[in-house]
Structure 1
Amino acid sequence: MFASTAPSAPMVALRRALQPGQPISGQSLARSLGVSRTAVWKMLEDLRAWGYRIDAAPRRGYRLVSAPDLPLPWEVAMALPPSLAGLPVHFFPVVGSTNDEARRLAEAGAPAGTVVVADRQTSGRGRRGRTWLSPPGGLYFSVLLRPQLEPRLVALLSLASAVAVTRAVQSAVPGAGARVKWPNDVIAGGRKLAGILAELSADQETVRFAVIGIGINVETPELDPARAGGGLPPIGLRQLGWTQPRAEVLGRVLAALHRLLGGFEPGQLPAAALVAEASSLLAWKGEEVEVRTPFGSWQGRLAGLAGDGALVLERPGGARQSLYAGDVTLREAGGPPAADPGGPGSIERGG
């Protein structure tokens, strides 16, 4: 089963009208939605096919008994602010990769802000070609952006996405202690909660479009025994205290990302404000860390972020060094730095 495109206004209105313990007649629904009673019946059957339990009683009407925890387009629409009404949302129960599907839609002319979300991915991936398992029940989605941005500044899109997830988690679970782990992860309590993968279509001077893939653990995933000895352990939103549906989390992230970028098709990225906010949320700021890159490893105190989103290390002796990619690990006092290989339990966002 597949739900696609921006949810229709009648379906959103129907879903808002259906509340547990509050029966409403078919005639009232038809009148408020501006459709026929036959159309109301068909929409109710569509909801039932998705797993909604809806009771119907003569002279009393319809009553919602339960709704599935699926980020369906109309559920996401209800979680969004009015400024994002009509945002195109494509839902897949199973997809190879939400990033791949978003790229296909981008090539076909889909507008900025188009969202692809899945209950499960079969070919999730992360940075540097790493595989990422995406079991059912997580929150896996991609957002299509069409920014007027130089390719060299694309790292700011990943950073903005990490800030958006962090802000969404902070608003949903204030005591979670969510932080941005540069360059593309979100951690809570020293454990990995989410990861991000940005992919571009660009030439040397301009970005045609960008696809930002975001994966958030909802339940804490089981560790792959082969990797259990390395990397930050995972944690899920449920273990942090989150009890609401996944669509609510997605709505909060999209609203935060839209604010941070100044829109999904911004004329000019508010880089200074974005970097300042990311720096305020940076994990391990002021701590001794190691940054491993394809070109070697560097150790020093994590001083903050440069204006273009680069990580700034204060090296022994006081010299500062800017790094644009790498895996950051916290150095334990008196011991070697912990490994952080990525993969299941150590999320490299599966786009």
Structure 2
Amino acid sequence: MDQLLCMLSTTEYISGETLCQELQMTRGAIWKRMEKLRAQGYQIISAGKKGYRLEPEDDSLLPGYILHDLRTKWAGRGEICYELQIGSTNTYAKDMAHQGAPHGSLAVCHIQTAGKGRLSRGWDTPHGDALTQSMVLRPKLMAEQASLVTLAAAVAVAQAVSDICPTLEAGIKWPNDVVLGGKKFVGILCELSADIDGIQFIIPGVGINVNQQSFSPELKEKATSMLMEMQKKDPNAKPICRRTLLCAYLKRMEDAINALEEHGLDGIMPEYLKRSVTIGRQVRVIGVNSEFIGTAKALDPTGALIVTDEGGNDQRVLSGDVSVRGLMGYV
């Protein structure tokens, strides 16, 4: 990220003299750089002898504003790449990773037109009301633990939603959905690159329905948004700042990944179980050529779902192979 932008992204004013000394540039050169940043959409204010600072705009996802609001040590602290419109943030983040982007780097966009979901499903956000982002992770995990990152992301999203909207109670539907009021509002897709030496990188892509107020006929029975659920409780509820949600998620995701690295699944399991809408319930497991009904019993150390079928046998269910539904509907 632009070094000047990083310096302006603090919460305090920074003097022109300090900028000149740190960047080893003249005041004229710094002014030209500031004008270029302003042309990109940044609001940079000056206050007499105090100096300069960014004035964050509501809901802007420009990297400098994200950095201004971040309260993390590494999540979002690598590269932050923002595009107004993008096909898939996961594809973008994978390209970043292949080019050497460090742990915690971020790809985020205003509008996503060709997002990807699990089992080759699509995930589009054409109106800019959703938050779509993907992170580059280079975690200290074994390859067989890679699927735990999906669970960590689900926990982090659910926690972040509670952090900024305490009246909303998000539940986690195994393996990669987060729900409100029995309807999906979050999709998570993790993609892995590994070799004989282990994990090279993992890309957890997260799409969150934030401020949508309607869905197409084919989606409205199973999809919702944070704003729609808030307006059920308070018709005057205001739209949610996506940047605030993003920064809350990044902080929670940082905590979850740190816990995974130190303790494995046990590091996030208490929070996962507290929010799970799958464990302990009867489910229908739908595969390509077959399906069965059973009771979701537990997760194994790799994050696979253990389902006790109607014959009393435990079946190990892998997320890449099946869909899991409640007997009475989506959840």
TM-score by length of 2: 0.81
Q: CA deviation at 1:46?
A: 4.2
Task: Report how far residue 242 of structure 1 moved.
Answer: 6.9
Q: Give the corresponding residue for 2:233.
A: none
Could you list the per-position Cα deviations for residues 282-336 of structure 1 after superposition, in whole angstroms to 9, with x for gaps in the alignment? 114433221222242222233332222122323335443331123222222xxxx
Contact between 2:54 and 2:65, CA under 8 Å: does it hold in 1?
A: no
The structure-2 alpha-carbon separation of the partners of 1:242 and 1:160, relative to structure 1 and needing over 3 Å to count, comes to: farther
Please tell me whether the aligned partners of residues 160 and 260 of structure 1 are also in contact (alpha carbons under 8 angstroms).
yes
Alpha-carbon distance change, 287 to 70 in structure 1, aligned in 2, over 3 angstroms: same
1:112 aligns with 2:103: yes
Instruction: Specify the alignment match of 1:162 in structure 2.
Output: 154
Compared CA separation, residues 312 and 228, structure 1 to 2 (3 A): same
- The alignment partner of 1:83 has SS state of coil
1:252 partner amino acid:
A
Q: Is the 8 A contact 1:122 1:134 kept in 2?
A: yes
- Mapped to 2, the partners of 1:331 and 1:158 lie a distance apart of 24
Q: Deviations over 1:164-201 (max 9, x none)?
A: 11111111111211111110111112121211111111
Cα 1:242–1:276 shift into 2, 3 Å: farther
Distance 2:220 2:5 in 1: 48
42-51 vs 68-77, which moves further? 42-51
Change (3 A) 1:287 1:17: closer
Match of 1:321 in 2: 315
- C-alpha distance in structure 1 between counterparts of 2:2 and 2:180, whole Å: 33
Check if 1:83 corresponds to 2:73: yes
**Deviation for aligned residue 1:12:** 4.5
Alpha-carbon separation, structure 2, partners of 1:271 and 1:277: 11
Alignment partners' CA distance in 2, 1:14 and 1:238: 35
- Say which of 157, 173, 178 aligns to 1:181: 173
Is the deviation greater in 320-329 or in 110-119? 320-329
1:69 equivalent to 2:59? Answer yes
Shift, 1:56, TM fit = 8.1
Question: Once the 2 structures are TM-superposed, how far is the Cα of residue 49 of structure 1 from its aligned partner?
Answer: 2.9
Deviation string for 1:233-266 (max 9, x for gaps)?
2223575357553222111111111111118xx8
The percent identity for this pair of structures is 31
Please state if 1:214 is matched with 2:210.
no
Q: Does residue 259 in structure 1 map to residue 255 in structure 2?
A: yes
Output aligned runs, 1:161-310, within 5 Å: 161-203=153-195, 206-220=198-212, 222-225=214-217, 227-228=218-219, 232-237=222-227, 239-240=229-230, 243-262=239-258, 270-310=264-304
Question: Is 2:138–2:202's contact at 8 Å kept on the other side of the alignment?
Answer: yes
Q: Which of 52-61 and 85-94 deviates more?
A: 52-61
Distance 1:58 1:171, change over 3 A: closer
**Structure 2 contact 87–114 (Cα < 8 Å) conserved:** yes
Quickly say closer, same or farther: Cα 1:293–1:208, change in 2 above 3 A.
same
Task: Read off the aligned partner of 1:173 and give its amino acid letter.
Answer: C
Q: Secondary structure at the match of 1:294?
A: coil
Counterpart secondary structure, 1:152: helix
Work out the CA distance in 1 between the residues paired with 2:58 and 2:36.
Answer: 13
2:16 partner letter: A
Instruction: Summarize the Cα distance change of 1:288–1:74 in structure 2 as closer, same or farther, 3 Å threshold.
Output: same
Gaps spanning 5+ residues in structure 1: where? 1-5, 19-23, 333-337, 341-351
User: Highest relative contact order (Cα 8 Å, sep 6+), 1 or 2?
Assistant: 1
Q: Secondary structure at the match of 2:73?
A: helix
Secondary structure of the structure 2 residue equivalent to 1:283: coil
1:177/1:106 Cα in 2 relative to 1: closer, same or farther (>3 Å)?
same
Query: Is the Cα–Cα contact under 8 Å of residues 89 and 114 in structure 1 kept in the other structure?
Result: yes
Q: State the Cα distance separating 1:51 from its structure 2 match.
A: 4.1
CA RMSD in angstroms comes to 3.3
Distance 1:115 1:293 in 2: 33
Q: Which residue of structure 2 aligns with residue 122 of structure 1?
A: 113
2:268 partner SS:
helix
Distance 1:48 1:223 in 2: 36
Q: Which residue of 2 aligns with 1:30?
A: 16
Q: Alpha-carbon deviations, 1:4-60, whole Å to 9, x = none? A: xx353x435535568xxxxx8xxx742464566545644553454344567889999
Tell me the CA shift for residue 224 of structure 1: 3.0
CA deviations 1:87-128 (Å, max 9, x no partner) are: 321111112211111111111111111111111122211112
When residues 65 and 30 of structure 1 are mapped into structure 2, their CA distance, relative to the original with a 3 A threshold, is closer
How far residue 217 of structure 1 moved from its aligned partner, in angstroms, is 1.1
d(CA) in 2 for partners of 1:66 and 1:198?
30
